[in-house]
Amino acid sequence: MLKQRETAGAREDSAETRELTYAQAIREALQLAMNRDERVFMLGEDIGVYGGAFGVSDGLIDQFGAERIRDTPISEAAIAGAAIGSAMTGMRPIAEIQFMDFITLSMEQLVLQGAKIRFMFGGKATVPLVLRTPAGSGTGAAAQHSESLEAWFVHVPGLKVVMPSTPYDAKGLLLAAIEDDNPVIFVEHKLLYRTKGHVPEGYYTVPLSQSDIKREGTDLSVIATSIMVPRAIEAAEILAKKGIELEVVDPRTLKPYDATIATQSVRKTGKALVVHEAPKTGGFGAEVVAELVAGDAFDYLDAPVRRLAGLDVPIPYNRELERAAVPQVEDIVREARALVEGVY
Partner 1 sequence: METKLKESGLDSATLLEALRKMHLIRLFEEKAESLYALGKIHGTMHLSIGQEASAVGSCLALQPDDYILSTHRGHGHCIGKGAEPKLMMAEFFGKEVGYCRGRGGSMHIADVAGGNLGANGIVAGGIPLSTGVGLSIQMQQQDKVCLTFFGDGAANEGAFHESLNLAAIWDLPVVYICENNQYGMSMSVERACAVQRIAQRAAAYDIPGMTVDGNDLFAVYGAVKAAVDRARTGDGPMLIESVTYRWRGHSKSDRQRYRSRDEVKEWMEKDPIARLEKALLSAEIVSEADLEQVANAARKTIEDSVAFAEAAADPDPASILEGVYA
Ligand X SMILES: Cc1ncc(C[n+]2csc(CCOP(=O)(O)OP(=O)(O)O)c2C)c(N)n1
At its nearest, how many Å lie between ligand X and the CB of residue 58?
Answer: 17
d(CA 109, CA 113): 5
In the list 21, 98, 109, 137, the residue contacting ligand X (rule: CB under 6 A) is: 98
Of the chain, the end-to-end C-alpha distance in Å amounts to 63
The candidate with the shortest Cα–Cα distance to 149, out of 276, 316, 294, 251, is 276
Q: Out of 28, 45, 96, 145, which one is annotated catalytic?
A: 145
d(CA 80, CA 323): 32
Beta partners for residue 92, in sequence order: 40
300 binds ligand X per the rule CB under 6 A: no
105 binds ligand X per the rule CB under 6 A: yes
Q: Which stretch binds ligand X (CB under 6 A): 97-105, 215-223, 287-295, 311-319?
A: 97-105
> Residue 145 catalytic?
yes
At its nearest, how many Å lie between ligand X and the CB of residue 144?
Answer: 7
Binding footprint of ligand X, residue count (CB under 6 A): 6
Binding site for partner 1 (CB under 8 A): 45-46, 48-51, 53, 71-78, 101-102, 105, 139-145, 311-314, 316-321, 324-325
* Helix axis angle, 22-36 to 60-68, nearest 10°: 50
The set of long-range contacts for 192-195, using a CB threshold of 8 Å and a minimum separation of 24, is 192/22, 192/164, 192/165, 192/226, 192/227, 192/230, 193/21, 193/22, 193/23, 193/54, 193/55, 193/56, 193/134, 194/21, 194/22, 194/23, 195/21, 195/22, 195/166, 195/167, 195/230
Give which of ligand X, partner 1, none residue 148 binds (C-beta under 5 to 8 Å, depending on kind).
none
74 binds ligand X per the rule CB under 6 A: yes
At its nearest, how many Å lie between ligand X and the CB of residue 36?
Answer: 31
At its nearest, how many Å lie between ligand X and the CB of residue 47?
Answer: 11
**What's 12's DSSP letter?**
-
At its nearest, how many Å lie between partner 1 and the CB of residue 24?
Answer: 17
Q: Out of 76, 150, 188, 335, which one is annotated catalytic?
A: 76
Q: Which stretch binds ligand X (CB under 6 A): 98-106, 287-295, 310-318, 319-327?
A: 98-106
Residue number, 105 or 238, with CB nearest to ligand X: 105
d(CA 305, CA 207): 28
Count Cβ atoms within 10 A of the Cβ of residue 258 and give its class: 0-12 exposed, 13-18 middle, 19 or more buried. middle
**Residue whose CB is nearest to ligand X in the complex, by number:** 102
Active site residues: 76, 145
Q: Which residues bind ligand X (CB under 6 A)?
A: 45, 74, 76, 98, 102, 105
